[in-house]
C-alpha cells in the first residue's frame, strides 16, 4: 500500500466526491446461494457482498483451479430490464480491459437462468474504503 502521507493530497478530492454520490445499497446478510452450492463447475466457498442488483461470492473454479469472485444477478432482479442490461455492459467492458491494476476477467456463463461473471478474487477493502482512509 502506498505511503498515505504522499498519496493523501492526490486522493483527498476523490474521497470528497464520495460524499456527493448516492448512498450505495447496504449489503444484506441473505444470499441466494449457500456455501457448498454449485453453479456450473463452480463451488461457492464464501459470501463476499450483496449489492443493489448483484451478489458476490468467493467460488472455487475447477477449470481455472483457483478461487475467483463470482458475480451473479440477484434472483429478484432477473426479470428487470436494468440489471441484465448493466450486467452485459459490464461484461463487455471487462472483456476489453487488460491492466495490472484492474481486476482480471476470467469469463462468464449462465447457470439455472442466472448470468454470472468470473473475476479475479482480491481480498481486502473496497476502493472507496481505501480512499476514505487516505483522506482522514
Domain 27-124 has CATH 3.30.200.20: yes
Q: Mean pLDDT in the chain?
A: 81
Domain regions of the chain by residue span: 27-124
Predicted confidence at residue 7, as pLDDT, reads 46
Residue with the bigger pLDDT between 82 and 94: it is 94
Residue with the bigger pLDDT between 113 and 69: it is 69
Predicted confidence at residue 120, as pLDDT, reads 95
What is the per-residue pLDDT across 28-46, written as a single tens digit (0 to 9) for each?
458 999 999 998 889 999 9
Q: Are 129 and 122 in contact (CB under 8 A)?
A: no
Quick one: angle between helices 127-135 and 4-18, nearest 10?
110
Q: Report whether pLDDT(123) > 90.
A: no
Amino acid at each position: 500500500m502506498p505511503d498515505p502521507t504522499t498519496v493523501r493530497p492526490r486522493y483527498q478530492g476523490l474521497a470528497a466526491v464520495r460524499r456527493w454520490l448516492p448512498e450505495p445499497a447496504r449489503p444484506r446478510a441473505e444470499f441466494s446461494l449457500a456455501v457448498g452450492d454449485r453453479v456450473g463447475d463452480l463451488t461457492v466457498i464464501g459470501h463476499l457482498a450483496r449489492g443493489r442488483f448483484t451478489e458476490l461470492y468467493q467460488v472455487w473454479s475447477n477449470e481455472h483451479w483457483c478461487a475467483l469472485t463470482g458475480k451473479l444477478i440477484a434472483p429478484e432482479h432477473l426479470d428487470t430490464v436494468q440489471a441484465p442490461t448493466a450486467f452485459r455492459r459490464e461484461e463487455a467492458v471487462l472483456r476489453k480491459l487488460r491492466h495490472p491494476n484492474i481486476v482480471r476477467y476470467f469469463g462468464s456463463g449462465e447457470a439455472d437462468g442466472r448470468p454470472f461473471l468470473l473475476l479475479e478474487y482480491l481480498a481486502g477493502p473496497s476502493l472507496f474504503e481505501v480512499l476514505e482512509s487516505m483522506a482522514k
